[in-house]
Amino acid sequence: MLKLSEIMKLDIMKEAKILAGEKNIDNEVRSVSVLEIPEATPYIKESELLISAFYSISKDVEKQIKVVEMLKNIGASGLILSHVGLVLNEVSSKLIDTCKKIELPLILAPTDLAYIDIITPILDTLLYNHNNQLKQTLKIYDIMAETIMDKQDPTSILHTLYDLIKRPMYYFNYNLDCVFQMGTNKKNTLFKEFIIKEINNNLENLLNRKDIYIYQKNHQSKWLLTPIISNVKYYGVLVICINNELNDLDWIAINQTKNSISVVALNNINRKDYKMSLKKDFIIDLLLKEPPEEDIIIKRGLGLGYDITLLRIAAVIDIYNFNLISKDKPESYLIQFKEDIFQTVKNSISMKANEYIMVDYSDKIILLLYEDINEEITKSKAYKICNYLIEQIESQNRVQVSAGIGNYYEDFKYLYKSYEEAQMAIKISNKLYLEPKSTFYDEIEIYHALFKDIDTDWINKIIKKMFAQLIEYDRLNDSELLHTLITLIDNDTNIKITSEKLFLHRNTVIQRKNKIVEILGVDPFVYPDIAKYSIATLLYKFFYS
């Protein structure tokens, strides 16, 4: 970048005079050219310095005034009048007054200077400055690249920026935490609060990649708020004092800093995601089968930060009736739905590496607990955590979840069994109790033993034989005798509780109970028939509900 004031210091311009617009003598000059056609608007560029003798309009002051007004509107750097006394007899006072009014620099060149004599040294200086700026730009890129290579740390990059531009600066991350400041009073919390307020007030513009300029009236300081944002994520806001105008190299350094922080942050995210993926794959492998080589799996765990030899019990959190929830929902909705639940769990419990490991897998969240004093206390902790998470998820995500807790094992290689048992606890508990809850495997172990490897064809025959008459009666009369039978048995044949569960009058329940006895030809509510009908209702709920 070259300023008009610097051009005025060139040897060739020492005899030149500034006739008007001295206030803007520091205008930026990016190019220089000759203007002899008053209507040359499309060819004139912003920050261009024009040289003219007004040859075609030398006797028309009004047209000369229109030309300078046009140059001002375009944003030209200024106008150098040449050959005055040879082509243009004199510079009109009206023209000078107009230039003063619109604050356009008007410069009178020595009469004997040819256009080429003026243009050549200016172009040489512009080219030199351009080459020098290019070198400085490359240097900035090299410095930033070296900083990224040496330290994957945003604060190191920000230190580099401060060394380059030497301006007071702050960096507020996406949480509005001030993670870096330089050249400022660190005890000035009021100013930080002022900046945070301005970021919040202008957040929409910042997220749209727009720079914001703010003024601190008390200290008469001007600040730039420039967002650091990529196509992936919003990282925060860089706040820089700009009491003195930023030059091109400053902007290059700032923009390269923003790009570098985005790259480093994205790399860190990718590394974090990759590490989390390795950990998750390791845990899932551990839960799917008994590890064949214990020494190798222990070393692999230690390398990822897990001492798996101390893991004792697995617990599973699962969405209750997920098939009903997911019906007719797009996959994108379900993915976000499960991510929100996982985030609730992460936010609800403190992730202490020596207490438990948490991973999400399919529709489930898995907790692996380390030993805590003894078996009883470890199991108690698992139960409390599961109940707490059920409450948090129901409260924050408006969805019910079940929890299953497997058996406690002294040897980590049986952790896969605890995981299987936790899943089975959920499956059987949901069938038996028809509501979500936390269930230990040992609570339902006898049912698992009963149902494991059972002949489903044989079960169908039993169910048909014992309940066929009720099923047929319900079909023909649109009644609910089978449901009433099951509810009565589930509640120890208590008429009052059953009527409350079914939202029926007690007399209606009594009438249904009598009808059931009549249809079956036996009384399924007294011994010995209640024993076999209790087992039958259990099988019905497990295999048909």
| 3-state class (DSSP) for residue 338 | helix
273: in domain: no
- 397-411: pLDDT as tens digits: 899 999 999 999 999
- 317-375: pLDDT as tens digits: 999 888 887 777 887 788 888 888 888 888 887 655 567 888 888 889 999 999 888 99
Show contacts of 415-422: CB within 8 Å, 24+ apart.
Answer: 415/286, 415/287, 415/308, 415/311, 415/314, 415/368, 416/286, 416/287, 416/288, 416/289, 416/290, 418/312, 418/313, 418/314, 419/287, 419/314, 419/316, 419/366, 421/314, 422/314, 422/315, 422/316
Same domain, 302 and 234: no
Helices then strands (H, E): number in the chain? 19, 17
- 160-169: pLDDT as tens digits: 888 888 889 9
146: in domain: no
pLDDT confidence of residue 2: 80
Same domain, 338 and 487: no
Going by pLDDT thresholds of 50, 70 and 90, the confidence category of residue 94 is very high
pLDDT confidence of residue 269: 57
Same domain, 415 and 484: no
121: in domain: yes
Q: What are phi and psi of 397, to 5 degrees?
A: -105, -5
For residue 408, the domain's CATH number is: 3.30.70.270
Same domain, 324 and 374: yes
Same domain, 230 and 297: no
pLDDT confidence of residue 16: 92
- 192-235: pLDDT as tens digits: 888 988 988 888 888 888 899 988 766 678 899 999 887 667 88
Going by pLDDT thresholds of 50, 70 and 90, the confidence category of residue 391 is very high
pLDDT confidence of residue 1: 64
Same domain, 310 and 438: yes
pLDDT confidence of residue 225: 94
| CA proximity to 105, closest of 73, 79, 82, 81 | 79
Same domain, 493 and 384: no
Q: In the chain, pLDDT over 90 holds for what percent of residues?
A: 32
- 106-136: pLDDT as tens digits: 999 988 888 888 888 888 787 776 666 556 6
Same domain, 347 and 397: yes
pLDDT confidence of residue 158: 85
Tally of domains within the chain: 4
For residue 532, the domain's CATH number is: 1.10.10.2840
Q: Is the dihedral of CA 353, 357, 359, 365 positive or negative?
A: negative
For strands 106-108 and 17-20, give the pairing. antiparallel
pLDDT confidence of residue 150: 54
Range of the domain at 419: 289-451
Give 48's strand partners.
Answer: 31
Same domain, 308 and 253: no
Q: Report whether pLDDT(518) > 80.
A: yes
Q: Report whether pLDDT(379) > 90.
A: yes
Q: In the chain, pLDDT over 70 holds for what percent of residues?
A: 90
Among residues 402, 420, 451, which one ends one of the domains? 451
Going by pLDDT thresholds of 50, 70 and 90, the confidence category of residue 310 is very high
Q: Rounded distance, CA 280 to CA 277, Å?
A: 5
Mean pLDDT of the chain: 85
pLDDT confidence of residue 89: 87
138: in domain: no
For residue 174, the domain's CATH number is: 3.30.450.40
Q: Report whether pLDDT(17) > 80.
A: yes
Higher pLDDT, 10 or 139: 10
Among residues 232, 267, 302, which one ends one of the domains? 267
Same domain, 419 and 470: no
Same domain, 173 and 250: yes
Q: Report whether pLDDT(6) > 60.
A: yes
User: For the whole model, what pTM was predicted?
Assistant: 0.48
- 278-304: pLDDT as tens digits: 788 889 888 988 887 888 888 888 888
For residue 105, the domain's CATH number is: 3.40.1390.20
Q: Rounded distance, CA 460 to CA 103, Å?
A: 98
**CB-based burial, 57-84: b 16+ in 10 Å, e otherwise:** bbeebeebbebbebbbeeebbbbbbbbb
pLDDT confidence of residue 462: 80
437: in domain: yes
pLDDT confidence of residue 311: 93
318: in domain: yes
535: in domain: yes
Among residues 59, 93, 126, which one ends one of the domains? 126
272: in domain: no
Higher pLDDT, 41 or 480: 480
pLDDT confidence of residue 151: 54
Same domain, 403 and 425: yes
Going by pLDDT thresholds of 50, 70 and 90, the confidence category of residue 545 is low
Q: What are phi and psi of 248, to 5 degrees?
A: -60, -40
| CA proximity to 263, closest of 237, 227, 233, 239 | 233
